[in-house]
Structure 1
Amino acid sequence: MEENDATSGVPAEPPVAPGSMRPRGRTALIIAAAALLGISAGTAVGYGIQAERPPTPLPALSQAELAYPAKPLPAGKVPPPLPASQDHQVRTDGDLRKLLLDRPAGWSEDKDADWLNDGWMTVGDLARGYKDEGHMLEYFLESDIRRVAGAAWKKGEHRQATITLVQFSAGVEVMAEDYAAGQRSYMAGDDYAGNEGDLVKGSGEGRYYIYDVDREPGYLPSYQARAVMHRGDIMIEIDLYDTRPISKKDIRTLAERQLERV
């Protein structure tokens, strides 16, 4: 599948920041548990806190003074171009799927992840991960979303992992930051992780969270961990699901390794 840019121009004001996401990987985990115990479950979603945040103004489209010299520098004083490994724009303008973390040893591809097509995810499928998908689709389009890459893995009988890289168009990097901040804003609520999480090293404000175990009589226990961060114009989300405990090291290691790739 070829790269798909879904752009609509820079908005005059940033749209209302998004609400919370339905955990995609957990669906298959619940189905697997249902085969043993007849479990069915759902997720409550809300976005009131983030919707009340004041809009973040976009940077000015023009400046009074130019940041580069009026005359070209002499040949001997022109700095060499950055290598591709250090030039963030060169790295992120290529195949976004190549910035996804390599599948760790012991994991296999989750072939039940029908929301992925050759490592790509449509904007519509991303919006359908939210309860208010109409609002989210409008948010993404107004935010000048560019493309979404993803991965889904499984390990053993019940452990699952999903990674999504949501990239916004060049010049509106504030959208990736705002999107990530919106997702983190509700995580301390009792209906979600119930805690402030821990900082992901080197990510600025990126955090990872361990949810309290979800137990109900007759059901397998449900464990979940999540990491939300951004770098440049890319918002990064990682989710882990299992019927056995997930350690902080498990989610932290994936988050740090993924951040290094972007």
Structure 2
Amino acid sequence: MSASGTAAAGQVEQMLRQVTPGRYDAYEALLQALADPAGGQVYMLLWHGQAGSPDAQYGNMQVDGLGYAPCVTSAQELTASGWNRSYEVIGGLDAARALYPDHYGLWLNPHAPGGGVGIPWLDLRRMATGLDRQPAGPLRLSEPTIEIPQFYALLTQHAHRTPAVRALRRAWVQPALGSPYLAIGLDVYDTSPPAVDAVRSMMQQSIGAVPDGLSVSTVALFDEHDPVAMWLRACARPFYDREAHGAPGAPGIAPGAPGAPGILPPPATGYGYPPPGATY
């Protein structure tokens, strides 16, 4: 491993040592170190095959019914683990992109005292798509209680004039780090570029009615991997529904039928989220 790679591995392990329950800042720093394209390498443990071979298969472990692929963070940890099969050294980003679509998380150093640290697939998705583009979990989601009737009325009016929109839902999102915000869930008939532009224009025409200091974000309800979209599909009733109003819909079927999200219980050991009875 190069000097820069060794330094990156050291950064990952330094951040890993600082992660304890409730230390979301340290956990975010660990994710950032893993997502660093200049380093952040992990040693994926192969249950079958050799690195680079078509039949290579990552190991897997189940924690409270959730799947994780085990890995170690350095050659020293590989030796300490006693793993006697093959392994593959890849970047943390590559691991995240490979695992999260199948709802698999990544478990770092499961041999370590305390059981290591588990990274749920939701956070691997954040790594793969950009940590600064997704809120830091665990997320607490609820129905909004803030009174902004003018914004909702204006947004409903513009949505009715935007044929691509089938329904709108809303949620109050409180990230583990950062300020809470209002999320507007977009249920659309069409995801073509003209439709996307029309929906973006709808939001721009309505956002002026939002009080100063209130952050508003949008989420596509057909996104099967977004925790806010999952909560909205399962728990939030539309505050605008074109079909309930009897308005004609745009042709086609909205991609991604609404489905109930899986509630992620906390791992028995390590980190992971959400805490009992909390969030997605």
Normalising by the smaller structure, the TM-score range is under 0.3
TM-score by length of 2: 0.21
More helix by share: 2
TM-score by length of 1: 0.22
